[in-house]
Amino acid sequence: MKEDLVLPAPREATADSSGDPLLVVEGLTKHFPVKGGFPIRRTVGAVQAVDGIDLTVHVGESFGLVGESGCGKSTTGRLITRLLEPTAGKISYRGKDITHASRKDLAPIRSEIQMIFQDPYSSLNPRQTVGKIISGPMEINGIEPTGGREARVRELLEIVGLNPEHYNRFPHEFSGGQRQRIGVARALALEPKLIVADEPVSALDVSIQAQVVNLLRKVQDELGIAFLFIAHDLAVVRHFSQRVAVMYLGKVIEVGDRESIYTRPRHPYTHALLSAVPEVNLAEETETGGRERIRLAGDVPSPISPPSGCRFRTRCWKAQDKCATEEPPLVRISGNHDGHLTACHFPEDPTIEARDEDIVLDPALAALEEGLNDD
């Protein structure tokens, strides 16, 4: 098992969609019950955190999952690692159905799916030494590497760029970035095939973010581990992932390879999301005419009672009657690349060039800009 992990996975096999998929998620749904009522508490509704999403992650591939806060990204990650019990749908790992597998059933594949957590301050047990934290998963799964666990832990510390002499230190003696590296080392300890990284850098300083992302890339390239990379930072995902899915309110609304999503997006929400990324390079903007500018109004609707039909219609500038009655299927729209699927009745043009007129739906922002133009 160790040998095939040490070899770098062939990049070609991972980039395209051929070969047996590692992880297949079909119609995955998670509804959290909302209890209420007096005197007898009963279920009065459900937070539809994740509502029927389909994903496929191939061997050695890095799959990005983006969306704004509260859209169900993290819930999806926790469902796949089976920290949460799915309400409906199917998760299969290498063809084996693990949707409702018990802890004992999961035991053989536990070592193959690992997780990196968001908050480095709460993901390490403050009472255990670094050595104990990293060797814990090996101990649980009864893995006895050649040369002993301690040697393996020191090796892992070196892989993630920490001093192997830190073996006997405690988490409170490390900075946020170092702690996150310890978290990465713990995830690598079992030589997994798939790592679910739940916003692994969003709690870190920008300068440290780059270090950790590059570490994850290095790990992915050298060990050929597939990643499900959950983030709200589009730039980080672009840097890290070969394929990207965009989520909105518990649904995947667009999925495709990196180039398609970032340069030829079709769904209005993807356009809005991309245009919200702050641009540093002003010179380039003026040369090429700049990027499109879309500013949405209002908040994401409540996932307890999501809008009918297309969930984005309440904030969409192209919404029509059809959007309220008919839910758009996630399909390939003509002009899209292979594997680029969009769920929209009225897709946008596949470009992110500046439009003739900015779309500013936020009335306050619009009024402000009006005033500026008058001056």
Q: Give the residues lining the site for other proteins (CB under 8 A).
A: 78, 81, 83, 103, 106-107, 110-111, 113-115, 117-119, 122-130, 133, 136-137, 140-141, 163, 165-170, 172-173, 183, 186, 190
- State the Cα–Cα distance between residues 241 and 227, nearest whole angstrom: 8
In sequence order, the β-bridge partners of residue 90 are 26
Residue number with CB closer to other proteins (105 or 221): 105
At residue 196, the 3 state secondary structure works out as strand
Tokens of 61: 């591939």
In sequence order, the β-bridge partners of residue 132 are none
Residue 234: CB minimum distance to other proteins, A: 24
Residue 47: CB minimum distance to other proteins, A: 17
Q: Which residues of 129-142 are buried (b: 16+ CB within 10 A; e: fewer)?
A: bbbebbbbbbeeee
Residue number with CB closer to other proteins (167 or 346): 167
Residue 166: CB minimum distance to other proteins, A: 7
Residue number with CB closer to other proteins (133 or 272): 133
Residue 374: CB minimum distance to other proteins, A: 51
Residue 53: CB minimum distance to other proteins, A: 20
Residue 31: CB minimum distance to other proteins, A: 18
Tokens of 128: 């255990």
For residues 20 and 61, the answer to whether their CB atoms sit within 8 Å is no
Residue number with CB closer to other proteins (154 or 313): 154
- State the Cα–Cα distance between residues 190 and 216, nearest whole angstrom: 16
Q: Residue 268 belongs to what H/E stretch?
A: helix 268-275
Residue number with CB closer to other proteins (74 or 336): 74
Residue number with CB closer to other proteins (115 or 160): 115
Question: 254: which residues sit within 8 A by CB, 6+ positions away?
Answer: 245, 246, 261, 265, 266, 267, 269, 270, 330, 340, 341, 342, 343, 344
In sequence order, the β-bridge partners of residue 365 are none
